[in-house]
């Protein structure tokens, strides 16, 4: 057996949970180092950007390379490890998977961060967890002060994701719509792209481990709105026993009808966000205002999400003509077409 792939992360990090579930499904041997960058493990290099999860890939000189960013790591693992792929083999569907994965990573995380820190009950719940998830032996007499300090730091960062009194309703309504859409998808076929999971499912799952299981307000909302989705999250944690077949992927001809509601949600909230953010960055503005879902939206400009849009556009441009046409057909009337015009 080759050495397990090491990664550091925390149970409360949606991207850590995304990657753990993907590793389990793909049966890639791993070693989970629970922790955080505030207490670096001796002998482990620091990544350029200190994010969770951080993967430690073996480097050519026998050392370790610290690598972050879940989506490119998932693609690297597809190249390095054969079998049990989490990417649809139809290029048009693979592209739609990239788009939905990006929506989950970059938009749904707004709901995750909002629900964690916007309401009193949730703040009281999350503060101590954030300490004990990374430092289980934090001394009792300090833990409360540490929880208060980390809560304050995170609440002060709510504005960064665009969560404020003006946007709260937009974020919360969007979450409830997503639950109903996923409820239908899971009832119809189990996963977004068929009877087997794709990286988009793991990205949705990662955010939902927090929204549906940890935060009291959104957990209660999930249970009331879509108990099936809550149950799905509990199961997706470990899909190592699933036996995926090629025929389990959605067929191209089925994609439009099957994915229309989810893509319409992406087009309703995430597409206008990505476009307004990129426009602001281009104009050199460090914050922007936009209209999302018929309501005002205001937040700082985010360089990373400019890159997300550029990557999606490059992926679309790289598709062969008939695949582009199939993607355009699936995106018709969803509001997502505006991203690629």
Ligand X SMILES: N[C@@H](CCC(=O)N[C@@H](CS)C(=O)NCC(=O)O)C(=O)O
**Residues 250-289 vs ligand X: string with x where CB under 6 A?**
----------------------------------------
Q: How far apart are CA 135 and CA 143, in angstroms?
A: 9
What's the min distance (Å) between Cβ of 300 and ligand X?
15
Closest to ligand X by CB, 15 or 191: 15
Closest to ligand X by CB, 264 or 306: 306
What's the min distance (Å) between Cβ of 108 and ligand X?
12
Query: Taking CB under 6 A as the rule, does residue 55 contact ligand X?
Result: no
Q: How far apart are CA 278 and CA 105, in angstroms?
A: 17
SS3 138: coil
Site stretch for ligand X (CB under 6 A), options 11-19, 213-221, 224-232, 278-286 = 11-19
Closest to ligand X by CB, 8 or 280: 8
E strand intervals along the chain: 5-9, 30-34, 54-58, 64-68, 287-292, 295-300
Query: Taking CB under 6 A as the rule, does residue 32 contact ligand X?
Result: no
Interior/surface letters 109-141, b for 16+ CB within 10 angstroms, e for the rest: bbbbbbbbbbbeebbebbbbbbbbbbbeeeeee
- Binding residue (CB under 6 A) for ligand X from 14, 47, 127, 272: 14
User: Which residues 85-124 are close enough to bind ligand X by CB under 6 A?
Assistant: 105
What's the min distance (Å) between Cβ of 111 and ligand X?
13
Unique residue bearing structure tokens 């397990």 = 4
Query: Taking CB under 6 A as the rule, does residue 70 contact ligand X?
Result: yes
Q: How far apart are CA 129 and CA 131, in angstroms?
A: 5
Query: Taking CB under 6 A as the rule, does residue 127 contact ligand X?
Result: no
Query: Taking CB under 6 A as the rule, does residue 52 contact ligand X?
Result: yes
SS3 144: helix
Residue among 222, 259, 28 nearest 112 (CA):
222
DSSP-derived letter for residue 269 is I
Residue 5: CB partners within 8 Å, gap ≥ 6?
23, 28, 29, 30, 31, 55, 56, 57
What's the min distance (Å) between Cβ of 206 and ligand X?
8
- Binding residue (CB under 6 A) for ligand X from 28, 33, 51, 275: 51
Residues that bind ligand X (CB under 6 A): 13-15, 51-52, 68-71, 105
């Amino acid at each position: 057996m080759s050495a397990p792939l090491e990664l550091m992360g925390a149970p409360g990090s949606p991207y850590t949970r995304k990657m753990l579930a993907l590793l389990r499904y793909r049966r890639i041997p791993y070693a989970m180092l629970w922790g955080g960058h505030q207490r670096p493990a001796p002998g482990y290099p620091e990544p350029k950007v200190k994010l969770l999860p951080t993967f430690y890939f073996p480097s050519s000189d026998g050392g370790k390379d610290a690598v972050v960013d879940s989506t490119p790591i998932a693609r690297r693992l597809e190249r390095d490890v054969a079998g049990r792929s989490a990417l649809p083999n139809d290029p048009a569907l693979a592209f739609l998977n990239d788009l939905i994965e990006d929506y989950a990573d970059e938009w749904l995380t707004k709901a995750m961060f909002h629900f964690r820190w916007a309401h009193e009950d949730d703040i009281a719940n999350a503060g101590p967890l954030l300490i004990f998830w990374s430092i289980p032996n934090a001394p009792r007499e300090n833990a409360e002060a540490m929880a208060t300090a980390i809560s304050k730091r995170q609440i002060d960062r709510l504005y960064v994701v665009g969560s404020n009194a003006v946007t709260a309703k937009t974020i919360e309504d969007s979450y409830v719509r997503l639950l109903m859409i996923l409820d239908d998808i899971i009832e119809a076929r189990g996963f977004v792209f068929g009877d087997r999971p794709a990286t988009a499912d793991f990205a949705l799952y990662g955010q939902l481990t927090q929204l549906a299981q940890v935060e009291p307000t959104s957990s209660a909302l999930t249970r009331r709105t879509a108990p099936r989705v809550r149950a799905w999250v509990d199961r997706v944690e470990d899909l190592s026993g699933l036996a995926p077949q090629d025929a389990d992927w959605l067929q191209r001809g089925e994609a439009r009808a099957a994915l229309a509601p989810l893509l319409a949600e992406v087009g309703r909230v995430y597409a206008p966000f990505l476009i307004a953010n990129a426009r602001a960055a281009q104009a050199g503005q460090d914050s922007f205002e936009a209209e999302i879902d018929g309501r005002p939206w205001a937040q700082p400009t985010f360089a990373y999400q400019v890159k997300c849009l550029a990557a999606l556009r490059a992926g679309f441009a790289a598709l062969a003509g008939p695949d582009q046409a199939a993607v355009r057909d699936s995106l018709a009337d969803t509001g997502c077409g505006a991203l690629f015009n």
